C-alpha cells in the first residue's frame, strides 16, 4: 500500500505538467502545455520510428519522452533561447528536481525514471538522440501551426539553427527537418519575412 500511496502522490505532482505552459502557442491561440508537448513527441516517435535507418528501441524511446520534461514540475520550463541566470542555473535546477522525483517514488521506479532522464540528457544512445531530435522538431511543427504574431524575433533564426544538428544522425530525420523548415519558410513569406535574409543573418545557405 505504501507504493500505491507514493505513486498516487506523484501523479498529483506530475499533473503540474498539464498546467505548466511553454513558450509555444497552439493554433487556437492558447499556450501549449508541457504535457501536450510530450504527447506530440510520443506520437511523432510512433509515426516516424519505422522510417529510421538507425536501430532504436521504440518502447525505450517512448519512456524517455514521457519522463524527459518531468523535472519541470519543480524547475519550470526554460525556453531554449533563454539567457542569463535562468539558463545558467537550468542544468543544476533540473538535476536537483530529478533527484527529488527519484526520492518521491518507490525505489525501482524512481531509479528507472532517473536513469532514463540522465540517458536523455547525455544524448549518446540512439533512443536519446531520436527523442532529442523529436524535442526540437515538435517545437517547430507547433510554431508552424500557430499564428505568426506569436513568433519571437529570435524564432526566425532558430528555424535554421535548432533542428539540423539533432536530426543529422539519421537520413529520414534530416529529410523531415528539411520539410519542417520548408513549412516555416512558407509561413514567413506569408507575413512578409524573407527566409533568404534570415539565412544570411544566421550564416546558413540554402540546401542544393
> Where are the chain's structural domains?
2-202
How far apart are the C-alpha atoms of 30 and 145, rounded to whole Å? 12
C-alpha cell at 67: 519522463
Nearest alpha carbon to residue 162 among 179, 181, 148, 149:
181
Can you tell me the mean pLDDT for 93-115? Answer: 95
| Residue 119 near residue 45, CB atoms below 8 Å | no
Burial class of residue 157 (count of CB atoms within 10 Å of its CB; 0-12, 13-18, 19+) = middle
pLDDT tier for residue 208 given thresholds of 50, 70 and 90: very low
**In which band, very low, low, confident or very high, does the pLDDT at 76 lie, cut at 50, 70 and 90?**
confident
- Eight-class DSSP state of 21: E
pLDDT tens digit sequence for 105-116: 999 999 999 999
Helices vs. strands in the chain: H and E counts, helices first:
13, 2
| Greater model confidence, 148 or 82 | 148
Among 183, 93, 177, smallest CA distance to 146 is for 183
Count how many Cα atoms sit within 13 Å of the Cα of residue 56 in the half-sphere of its side chain.
26
At residue 23, φ and ψ (nearest 5 deg) are -80, -10
Q: Is the pTM of this model over 0.85?
A: yes
The domain at 2-202 falls in which architecture?
Answer: Orthogonal Bundle (1.10)
Q: Is the dihedral of CA 71, 74, 77, 83 positive or negative?
A: negative
91: confidence class by pLDDT, cuts 50, 70, 90: confident
Amino acid at each position: 500500500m505504501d507504493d500505491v500511496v507514493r505513486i498516487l502522490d506523484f501523479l498529483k505532482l506530475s499533473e503540474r505538467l498539464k498546467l505548466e505552459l511553454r513558450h509555444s502557442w497552439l493554433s487556437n491561440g492558447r499556450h501549449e502545455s508541457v504535457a501536450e508537448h510530450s504527447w506530440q513527441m510520443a506520437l511523432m516517435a510512433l509515426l516516424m520510428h519505422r522510417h529510421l535507418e538507425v536501430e532504436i528501441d521504440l518502447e525505450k524511446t517512448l519512456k524517455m519522452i514521457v519522463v524527459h520534461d518531468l523535472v519541470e514540475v519543480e524547475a519550470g520550463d526554460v525556453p531554449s533561447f533563454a539567457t542569463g541566470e535562468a539558463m545558467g542555473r537550468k542544468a543544476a535546477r533540473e538535476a536537483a528536481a530529478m533527484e527529488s522525483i527519484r526520492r518521491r517514488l518507490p525505489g525501482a521506479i524512481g531509479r528507472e525514471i532517473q536513469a532514463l532522464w540522465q540517458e536523455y540528457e547525455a544524448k549518446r544512445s540512439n533512443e536519446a538522440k531520436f527523442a532529442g531530435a523529436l524535442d526540437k522538431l515538435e517545437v517547430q511543427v507547433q510554431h508552424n501551426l500557430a499564428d505568426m504574431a506569436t513568433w519571437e524575433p529570435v524564432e526566425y533564426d532558430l528555424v535554421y539553427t535548432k533542428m539540423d544538428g539533432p536530426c543529422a544522425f539519421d537520413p529520414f530525420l534530416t529529410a523531415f527537418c528539411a520539410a519542417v523548415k520548408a513549412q516555416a519558410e512558407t509561413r514567413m513569406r506569408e507575413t512578409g519575412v524573407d527566409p533568404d535574409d534570415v539565412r544570411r543573418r544566421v550564416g546558413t545557405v540554402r540546401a542544393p
